[in-house]
Amino acid sequence: MTTIEKMLVQLSDEKYRIFSSSLLPGVDHILGVRLPILRKLSRTLTLEELSDDTFEEIMLQGMVIAREKDFTLWKEKCFTFLPKINNWSVCDSFVSSLSSLVKRYPNEMFSFLKELSTSEDEYTRRFVLVMFLKYYIKPSYIEEVVTILHNIKKTEYYVQMASAWLIAEIYYYQEDLGKDLIAREKDAFIQKKALQKVRESLKIPNNGKIEKRKKEEK
């Protein structure tokens, strides 16, 4: 056991480990360290100190990489990191940690995400979609975001869920566009989940007033 892992074990919470494990079926080596503790700890660590042995250390790697201020260097580190992501929690946490980098390099980041959108890796594509819904539902990007959403491979569950989430966020941004995306969505599961997210979202007025458009009967 490494020094970092020993420290993480000391910082762990067994009840939180059980709770986290219930949300991340199939993910091994979860110690149960809460996110605020990991974020604070990440400010003092380097990538060289972190292994791939635990869920928390991979989470920390993403947080450490997010501190990189040079976009070219960040891209190099990101390419190495993305294949290590095997769950929605690490993916979405990595996205949340990148707000400062996106503010500094919005166009460069968007171009990078377009490149990644053709990846065969499930969580790389989820990363792209969650980045879009977090940072790029804006007038200068929305048209390309919609185009990529149409074209991106959406065969896996966590990509489908991210697609539905993105559609719901687009609906909140521009209702007519969101309605059109829901109506045109060919995947019944994504369509259903997008409608559900729209109805449940506290941000969207008149919840429940969107009616599901039935597919034409053959």
**Span 4-56, pLDDT tens digits:** 999 999 999 999 999 999 999 999 999 999 999 999 999 999 999 999 999 99
Residue 209 pLDDT: 45
Distances from the Cα of 46 to the Cα of 49, 97, 155, 181, angstroms: 6, 16, 35, 42
Residue 214 has pLDDT above 60, yes or no: no
Locate 95 and state its tokens: 């996205």
Can you tell me the distance from the alpha carbon of 192 to that of 182, in angstroms, rounded to the nearest whole number?
Answer: 9
pTM of the full structure: 0.90
Spatial CA neighbour of 148 closest among 133, 161, 156: 133
34 and 116 both lie in a single domain: no
Higher pLDDT pick, 31 / 216: 31
Mean pLDDT of the region 98-123:
98
Q: In sequence order, which residues have a C-beta less than 8 Å from that of residue 72 and are 6 or more positions away?
A: none
71 in a structural domain: no
Contacts of 97 (CB under 8 A, 6+ apart): 39, 62, 63, 66
pLDDT score recorded for residue 206: 52
Structural domain contains residue 89: yes
Would residue 120 count as lying in a domain? yes
Mean pLDDT computed over 139-167: 97
Q: Is the pLDDT of residue 216 over 50?
A: no
pLDDT beyond 70 at 212: no
The answer to whether residue 211 scores a pLDDT higher than 60 is no
The reply to whether 185 falls in a domain is: yes
Q: What confidence category does residue 143 fall into, taking pLDDT thresholds of 50, 70 and 90?
A: very high
Residue 170, domain extent: 85-204
CB 53 within 8 A of CB 61: no
Query: Does residue 95 lie within any of the structural domains?
Result: yes
Contacts of 101 (CB under 8 A, 6+ apart): 66, 68, 69, 71, 74, 109
Say if 76 falls within a structural domain: no
**What is the tally of structural domains in the chain?**
2
Reply yes or no on whether the pLDDT at 92 is more than 80.
yes
Residue range 185-209, pLDDT digits in tens: 999 999 999 999 998 875 555 544 4
Question: Would you state the pLDDT for residue 213?
Answer: 36
What's the mean per-residue pLDDT of the chain?
Answer: 92
Asked if 130 and 170 sit in the same domain, the reply is: yes
- pLDDT value for 202: 53
Residue matched to tokens 């829901």: 182
Quick check: is 216 in a domain? no
